[in-house]
Amino acid sequence: MSTTVLAAGNHFIRPNLFTEAVRAAAGDLPLDVRELRFPWPHTPFGPVAEVIEASGSEDEMIEALQGVQICVTEHGPLTERILANCPDLKLFCTSRGGPVNANLEAATRHGVAVCYAPGRNATATAEHTLTLLLAAARGVGDTHTDLRKGTWRGDYYDYDNCGIEIDGATVGLIGYGAIGSRVAKVLRVMGAEVLVHDPYVRPEALAGIAEQVSLDALLRRSRMVSLHARVTDETKGMIGCDQIAAMPRGSILVNCARGALLDYEAACDALESGHLAGAGFDVFPEEPLPADSRLLTAPGVVLTPHIAGGSQQVAHKAADIVAAEVGRYLRGEPLVHCANPEALKAS
C-alpha cells in the first residue's frame, strides 16, 4: 500500500526539493507525494493560532492534509485544530533547527511524531557571521555606502578610522554550539585568540581552539564579540548597556543568532558615541526593520535581512535531514531527531 506524503515547501526549500529527497530516502517503498507551496519568504512568517514562526493558514493545511500520513515542511503550521481535523497524519517533519511551528503537546496527544533538522544551517550561518565580522572590522558598511553615493573619502585611511585585523585580535564567542564552534575554528586558523562563554560546553571541545571564560571576562578582554546563544529566559537581553560598556572602546559586535539576545538601542548608542567601532547584524528585535529604526542610520553598522542561514546547500541539507527521518519511519527504524518520541507509543 502506498503512503501519502505532503511536501509543503516555500520559495526557499521548494516543494520539489522535499519530494526528490523523500523519494530518494524511501527507496523502493511506494509513495504518493502531494505538493504545496507557502509564500515565505516573500511573505514574512508569523504566529498561526498557538504556534510561532509559521507560514500559511490552518484551513490550507487541513485541506492539504486530508488522507496524508506524513508531512514534510519548513514553516507549515501544526496546531491543535489541524491535528483534530487530520486523523491520518502520523509523522510531521519540519526542516528547521527546532519544531517552533508545531504544537508538540497536542501532537503527542494525537499520536503524531514531530521531527526537526538540527544543524541544517550551521555552516551557512558560521560563514555569514565571519562575513559580518570582517566587514564590520574593516568599515565595509560605511565605505560601501559612500562609494555608492559617489564619495571617495581618503580619511578612512586615517589611523583612527582604520579597521582592525583578525590576526592577533581577541575574539569572544557567546555560545559554542554547532555554529559558534565552526566560527571559533576558522578564527583560530586566522590567528585570533578565541574566548568562549558557554556554561554547557565540554572542556574537551575547546582544547587547542578556545578558552572558556566568564561573560564578564569575555567582554572585558575581547576586541570583537559575536553572539551564538539560544534565546531562553536566561539569555534574553543578555547584552545590554552595561555589557557593551564593559567591552574595550573601539570594539566590534556581531549578532547572527537571535534579536532578543541584544539591546539594540544600547548598541546604537555605543555606535553613535564611538564606543563600538562597528557592528554586524543579521537579526533584529522587529523584522522587517521599521523605516524609523536607528540601525538604518547608525555609523559603522553592516546589516543583512536575516539571511545568515540561507544558502542553496542549506535547502538541500534541510530536505535531506527530514527525508531521512521519513525513510526511517517507513522502514520501522528509530527516529534520530524526534522532539516527542512518546507520540510513537501512543500511535
Chain segment 135-164, per-residue pLDDT in tens: 999 999 999 999 999 999 999 999 988 999
User: Is 306 known to be catalytic?
Assistant: yes
Contacts of 95 (CB under 8 A, 6+ apart): 13, 18, 72, 73, 74, 116, 117, 120, 318, 319, 321, 322
Checking if the pLDDT of 347 tops 70, the result is: no
What is the secondary structure of 299-325 as a DSSP string?
Answer: TTEEE--S-TT--HHHHHHHHHHHHHH
pLDDT at site 346: 63
Instruction: Output the pLDDT for position 344.
Output: 87
Q: What is the pLDDT of residue 238?
A: 97
Q: Are 7 and 34 in contact (CB under 8 A)?
A: yes
Neighbours of 183 (CB within 10 A): 27
287 catalytically annotated:
yes
The one catalytic residue in 197, 223, 306, 328 is: 306
Q: Which of 120, 138, 197, 258 is catalytic?
A: 258
**Residue range 331-344, pLDDT digits in tens:** 999 999 999 999 98
Residue 249 confidence (pLDDT) above 70:
yes
Q: Is 42 a catalytic residue?
A: no
Q: What is the pLDDT of residues 267-302, one digit of tens each?
A: 999 999 999 999 999 999 999 999 999 999 999 999
Q: Write out the three cell numbers for 192.
A: 585570533
155-177 average pLDDT score: 95
Asked if pLDDT for residue 1 goes beyond 90, the answer is no
Question: pLDDT grade, residue 15 (50/70/90)?
Answer: very high
Mean pLDDT calculated for residue range 108-128: 97
Whole-model pTM: value is 0.91
DSSP 52-96: EEE-S-HHHHHHHTTT-SEEEESS--B-HHHHHH-TT--EEEE-S
Q: What is the mean pLDDT of residues 97-111?
A: 96
155 near 161, Cβ under 8 Å? Answer: yes
Residue 172, number of CB atoms within 10 A of its CB: 27
Q: How many percent of the chain have pLDDT more than 70? A: 99
pLDDT greater than 70 at residue 120:
yes
Structural contact between residues 48 and 58, judged by C-beta atoms closer than 8 angstroms: yes
For range 176-192, the mean pLDDT = 97
Give residue 255's pLDDT band: very low, low, confident or very high (50, 70, 90). Answer: very high
Tens digit of pLDDT for each residue in 87-103?
999 999 999 999 999 99
User: What are the pLDDT digits (tens) for 193-235?
Assistant: 999 999 999 999 999 999 999 999 999 999 999 999 999 999 9
Give the mean pLDDT of 28-40. 96
Mean pLDDT, rounded, for 155-184:
95
| Mean pLDDT (the chain, rounded) | 96
Identify the active-site residue in 287, 331, 333, 342.
287
Closest CA to 33 of 8, 1, 5, 61: 5
Grid coordinates representing 204 are: 574537551
Which grid cell is 290? 521599521
Domains of the chain with CATH codes: 3-120+311-346 (3.40.50.720), 122-303 (3.40.50.720)
